[in-house]
Amino acid sequence: NAGVTQTPKFQVLKTGQSMTLQCAQDMNHNSMYWYRQDPGMGLRLIYYSASEGTTDKGEVPNGYNVSRLNKREFSLRLESAAPSQTSVYFCASSTGSDQPQHFGDGTRLSIL
Amino acid sequence: GEDVEQSLFLSVREGDSSVINCTYTDSSSTYLYWYKQEPGAGLQLLTYIFSNMDMKQDQRLTVLLNKKDKHLSLRIADTQTGDSAIYFCAETLFGSASKIIFGSGTRLSIRP
């Protein structure tokens, strides 16, 4: 039982490059989320998808786009990476919007 | 506004109890959570409490909720070296789709 799987685990990009972070869950959860974690700031919500076919902005959506490809998969895209987007990115899922969220192991992204 | 606050560091002796505290500002919270993050890993849901409960116990973990003071605590009995991690307090808000507010995390270190 894999839970929430994120790929890649590590990535280094140059400023201006684009990249898609992948997330898949095998728990038949309806809701999925993307967060970024920066030192001393906890987790901040970038985008979420309350159910298949819907996506909504979170606290820090600028510079990102998302796609809820199907019930299992929720991807995060950086169209033109900036050094300020250097962070650890976490994907999470839950059965419903007010239920406990289960997290992947994260993607460590560095932008030079 | 919505805010969840925790102290940044806690150091305890192995075998003692650890108490990690959290305060929150929004009284419309539904669930309150404790997550554990070990180095290089994602957030692991430890336990959670519904806002109409005062206490929840699960093996070595005890969660206490004081709604009047908007204070949540996590007590870890007989603290072991494997408990070294960052602990995040979080709340979900009633009527707010898919929104979890995280604290900045408390780093628990264990000394021999």
pLDDT-derived band at B94, boundaries 50, 70, 90: low
d(Cα B100, Cα A39) in Å, to the nearest integer? 18
Q: Does B33 touch chain A (CB under 8 A)?
A: yes
Q: What is the pLDDT of residue A42?
A: 79
Which long-range contacts link B48-53 to residues 24+ away (Cβ below 8 Å)?
A: B48/A100
Q: What is the pLDDT of residue B1?
A: 56
Nearest by CB: A41 against B35, B40, B104: B104
10-residue mean pLDDT profile of chain A (112 residues): values are 90 96 96 90 88 91 96 96 96 85 93 95
**Closest-approach residue (CA) in chain B for A93:** B98
Q: What is the pLDDT of residue B97?
A: 55
Q: Do B88 and A43 touch (CB under 8 A)?
A: yes
Cβ under 8 Å to A: B residues 34-73: 35, 40-45, 48
pLDDT-derived band at B51, boundaries 50, 70, 90: confident
Nearest by CB: B98 against A4, A41, A50: A50
- Residues of A in Cβ contact (< 8 Å) with B31: 98, 100
Q: How many CB atoms sit inside 10 A of residue A101's CB?
A: 27
The alpha carbon of residue B79 is apart from the nearest alpha carbon of chain A, in Å, by 24
The CA-atom distances, in angstroms, between A89 and each of A31, B10, B27 are 17, 26, 29
Q: In this complex, how many residue pairs, one in chain A and one in chain B, have their CB atoms less than 8 Å apart?
A: 49
